[in-house]
Amino acid sequence: MAGQSRELEACEEPTLPTCVAPDCVTAGILTRAHERWQSGSLRAAIALAEEAVQADCDRCDRCCSVYADLLLILFLVGIRQVATAADLQRRLLASPQVQDDPQLIASTTLVGAKVALAAGDHADAGALAERGLKLAAETGQTAWTPVGNLVLATTTLRGGDISAALHYSAKLEEDAVFAREMFPIGQSAWAIVQLSEAGKGRDRAATLARELLESETFTRRLLAAEPAAVPWLVRLLLRVGERGPARAGVRFAGRLAAENPDVDSVGAAALHAAALLEGDLDKLRRAAESHTDPWARASVLEDIGVRLCEGQAESPEAAGYFECAMRAYTCMGALRDSSRVMSRLRGINASPRSRERCRPRSGIRGLTDTEYAVAKLVSQGLTNGETAEQMFLSRHTVAFHLRKVFQKVGVKSRLELAVIWNELDTGPAADVAPVPNYSRI
C-alpha cells in the first residue's frame, strides 16, 4: 500500500448512480452534497441530501429521489444518527417505488446492512449484507457490492472468522480494481488494516496505519464515517512507538471536530484519539460518555480498563470497565473482541464469577462457552495456533479444550467437526446480559 494513500487522495469519492441526464436537478444537488461531505462540512452535506430528496425532478425517468434517500441514510449513519437512518431505510424499502424495482431492493437492503452494523447488531448486519449481495448479483447492481463486502469483512473479523474476513477483504480489493461506484475508500482501507493486524501482526498493520493517518483526506473520511477508526489507528501506532503519525491523526481529527461542533460522533472520536495520545484518563471517561457508536463505546471502556490496571496485578475498578466492555462486545456478537477482554480480566486476576458474567453463551448443549468458541474457530479451518491467537489463549489450552469438544460431540478429527458444525451450531443463546450503564461505574 506504499504510496497508495497519495494516489487515492487525489481520486474523487465515487458518486451515487443517480442519473445520466445532464440537467437532472437531483443529481446536481447530490453532487454538491458529496463535495460538502468530502470537505468536512457534514451538516451542510446532510441538508443538501435532504433537499435532493424533496427536489422531485421531472427531467428524467430514473428514481433519483430514491438514490438521494440512500445517500442521506449513509450520511446519517456516518454521524451515527442511527435511529433516524433506520426509520428512513425501513420506509424506503417498503415504498412502492423500491418494491417495483429489484435493483433498488438490492441497494436499499445493502444500505440497511450498514445501518444495522452502526447500531451494533452484527448478526442482522451480516444477514442483510448477504441477502443484498445476492440480490445485487442477480440484478447486476454491482455498484453497491462494496457496501455489503465492507459490512461482512467487519462482522466476520469481529466475530473471529478470519478466513471469511480474508475473503471479503479480497472482494473489497476487487471492488477497488473495478472502480465500483460505491467503493468507500477510507472505510475499506481501515478494514484491511484491521485484518492485517489480526493475520500478520502489529508491525505490518502499523505500516498501513501510518499512511492512513498521515493523509488528512483519509483521516477526514474515516472520522466522518467510522467513529472508532481513528482512535483504533492511533492506539495501534502508539503500541509500536509511532507517535508522529499518531499525533498527525489526532491533529486532523481535532480540526474536523472543531469544524463540526454539533456532530457528537466526530467530537467523541477526536476526544478518544487525543486521550490515547496523551494518556489522559479523564478524557477517556468523557469520550465514553459521548460516544454514540456501540463498538466505539466498548472500545473506549476497554481503553479505560487498560489505563487503570497499568502496573497493577489486580484492579477491581479496571475489572468493572472490562466487564462493561465485554458485555457490549458480546451483545454485538464481536467474539474476537470479547475474547481479548476476557484475556485482560485473567491478567488482572479477576474472579471467575466476574469473567463468567461476561462470557458469550454457548449455542451447543453440553459445551462450555470456551469450548464452543474454540470449536467454532477450529471448524472454520483455523489451526490451534491461529485459534489461540484469536482467543488470546495458549496453544496448550486450545488443544485441551478441543479434546473435550471431540469427546462431547462424538468426533475424532477436525475435519469431522467441520463437516457437522452447521448442524450442531444453533448460534449464541439469546439471553445475553444487557450492557450496563457505564457512566455509573
CA atoms of 357 and 128, how far apart (whole Å)? 30
Determine the Cα–Cα distance for residues 100 and 110; give it in Å rounded to an integer.
17
**pLDDT at residue 432, as a whole number:** 32
Residues 6+ apart with CB under 8 A from 400: none
Q: Which of 101, 95, 177, 89 is nearest to 138 (CA)?
A: 101
Closest CA to 278 of 306, 305, 308, 246: 246
Name the one residue in this structure whose C-alpha cell is 476487487: 174
Sign of the torsion angle spanned by Cα atoms 372, 376, 379, 382: negative
Output the CA torsion sign for 345, 348, 354, 356.
Answer: positive
pLDDT of residue 231: 96
Structure-block grid coordinates of residue 399: 488443544
Q: In angstroms, rounded to a whole number, what is the distance separating the alpha carbons of residues 382 and 160?
A: 10
Question: What is the pLDDT, as a whole number, of residue 115?
Answer: 96
* Cell representation of residue 316: 477491581
3-class state of residue 366 by DSSP = coil
Q: Which of 339, 292, 297 shows the shortest CA–CA distance to 321?
A: 297
- pLDDT value for 60: 64
The secondary structure of residue 301, as a DSSP letter, is H
Indicate the pTM of the whole model: 0.80
Identify whether the C-beta of residue 193 lies closer than 8 Å to the C-beta of residue 205.
Answer: yes
- What is residue 295's predicted lDDT score, i.e. its pLDDT? 96
> How many Å apart are CA 288 and CA 269, to the nearest integer?
10
Cell of 293: 457508536
Tell me the pLDDT of the chain (441 aa) as tens digits.
444 444 334 333 444 554 555 677 888 888 899 889 988 999 999 999 999 988 876 666 567 888 899 999 999 999 999 999 999 999 999 999 899 999 999 999 999 999 999 999 999 999 999 999 999 999 988 888 999 999 999 999 998 888 888 899 888 888 877 766 554 566 788 888 898 888 778 888 898 899 888 888 888 888 888 889 999 999 999 999 999 999 999 999 999 999 999 999 999 999 999 999 999 999 999 999 999 999 999 999 999 999 998 877 678 889 899 989 988 998 888 888 988 888 888 778 665 555 455 454 555 767 777 788 788 888 878 888 888 877 777 787 888 888 888 888 888 888 888 877 777 775 543 333 333 343 334
DSSP result, 196-208: HHHHH-HHHHHHH
